[in-house]
Amino acid sequence: MNETATATIERVEAKPDHVHHWRIEEPNGETSLGVCKICGATRAFRNWLPETDYLTFEERRQAAA
């Protein structure tokens, strides 16, 4: 019987010393750029979520048929 050793890799992410306070640009396309007002970090925010596409249940059912 062979025993195999498994290595556990722990990921440690740097945590900021504050909670980000995002200033997000006006929606223009799929994403908008956000900049933290405190530290200047940047992040892309999605402007549209597929789960909220405003289709009714009946419209989804008909599309699936």
Say what percent of the chain tops pLDDT 90. Answer: 34
pLDDT at position 10, please?
53
Q: What is the mean pLDDT of residues 36-58?
A: 81
Q: What is the mean pLDDT of residues 4-22?
A: 65
Q: What is the mean pLDDT of residues 46-59?
A: 71
pLDDT at position 60, please?
73
CA distances from 30 to 22, 25, 46, 47, 57 (A): 18, 12, 6, 6, 25
pLDDT at position 1, please?
46
pTM: predicted TM-score of the whole model, two decimal places: 0.51
Q: DSSP for 1-65? A: ------PPPPP-----SS---EEEPPP-SSEEEEEETTT--EEEEES--GGG----HHHHHHHH-
